Amino acid sequence: MKRNFSPLIAIILGMLLIFWSITISGGKVVGFISLSSFIITIVGSFCALVVSYPLEDLLKVPSILKNVFITPMRDRDMIIDIFINLSKKSRKDGLLSLEDEVSEYEDEFLKKGVQLVIDGTEPEILEEILELEIENTQRRHKIGQDIFSTWGELSPAFGMIGTLIGLIIMLADLEEPSAIGSGMATALITTFYGSLFANLIFLPIASNLKSKTEEEMMMREMMLEGVLALQSGVNPRIIEQRLISYLSPQQKKSRLEKENNKNEGENVYE
């Protein structure tokens, strides 16, 4: 995995563009800053989250946020090569010879799958264990997605609540008609905050987490297919053809080109 700060850069850039648009439209950025509006919109919606989800899940939010700035391993081509090499070695030296290979893997799911093969686990039990691992991982990841999706739904609602509070306060004191305009503007800031945080931060984070979960699940399904093929003693070439189906058309084309270049290089030295 490697760090990816593009989401943070995009959020900061989005904020700057919005405030720049306010400035070039003749507005003042200071007029859009309100501590009370922030408290009603963000803190208020977070309190609603505490009602909606167990506290132990909400305490995981900081660690969940870390995943937004991490790019998981997506090199499916490398996974294919790993299983081809494992298959060749197991057919030549036996499954026990894979012990040294397993310790070098960083991915715990891959390591666990290959270790189960080495331990001689029955195919049905092995598949059941790994599928259960996939389901539970997906379920855990969904909690983080749901938290930010719900926060994205709640913040505009609390923004509207803040606006209503502002309107009530304004209408309760109409002795100064000239203050109605500024009072209305202040009341609408909470709606602005709710929409801004929901559509620039909370909902995009939920989508980001969902996208990464889908990619991770696809990688694990691919690994599961490779582990089952490895256990059944399938020919390395067949394993490759099975796993290639998980590649995108562009990845398939790139892999084919690399293989052709490799074969041409081997022919030169013959």
- Tens of pLDDT, residue by residue over 106-143, are 888 999 999 999 998 899 999 999 999 999 999 999 99
Amino acid making up residue 267: N
Q: Which two tokens stand for residue 149?
A: 């999706």
pLDDT-based confidence at residue 268 (cuts at 50, 70, 90): very low
Please report the pLDDT score of residue 96 as a whole number.
85
Q: Are 89 and 101 in contact (CB under 8 A)?
A: yes
Its pTM stands at 0.84
Which tens digits make up the pLDDT trace of 212-248? 999 899 999 999 999 999 998 889 899 999 999 888 8
Give the ranges where 172-270 is alpha helix by DSSP (H): 180-197, 203-231, 236-244, 249-269
Q: Kindly report, residue by residue over 193-204, the tens digit of the pLDDT.
A: 999 999 999 999
Those residues whose C-beta lies under 8 Å from the C-beta of residue 119, and which sit 6 or more positions away, are none
* Higher local confidence (pLDDT), 46 or 99: 46
Q: Which pLDDT band, with edges at 50, 70 and 90, does 58 fall under?
A: very high
Instruction: Give the total residue count for the chain.
Output: 270
Please give the share of the chain, as a percent, with pLDDT higher than 90. 52
Amino acid at 25: S
For the CA atoms of 113, 117, 120, 122, the dihedral, rounded to the nearest 10 degrees, stands at: 70
Closest C-alpha to 203, from 155, 148, 159: 148
Q: What is the band of 168 on the pLDDT scale with cuts at 50, 70, 90?
A: confident
CA distances from 60 to 65, 140, 208 (A): 9, 11, 17
Side-chain half-sphere exposure of 145, counting CA atoms within 13 A: 14
Provide the 3-class DSSP secondary structure of residue 3.
strand
| pLDDT in the model for residue 179 | 60
Q: Which residue has the higher pLDDT, 252 or 261?
A: 252
d(CA 157, CA 40): 10
Token reading at 95: 């499954």
Asked whether the beta carbons of 183 and 166 are under 8 A apart, the reply is yes
Specify the DSSP element, H or E, that contains 170.
Answer: helix 123-171
Tens-digit pLDDT profile for residues 68-110: 888 776 688 889 999 999 999 988 888 888 888 888 888 889 9
Here the tokens at position 133 are 């691992």
H or E element: which one contains 70? strand 70-71
Can you name the residues that pair with 3 across neighbouring β-strands? 70
At 73, give phi and psi (nearest 5°): -65, 125
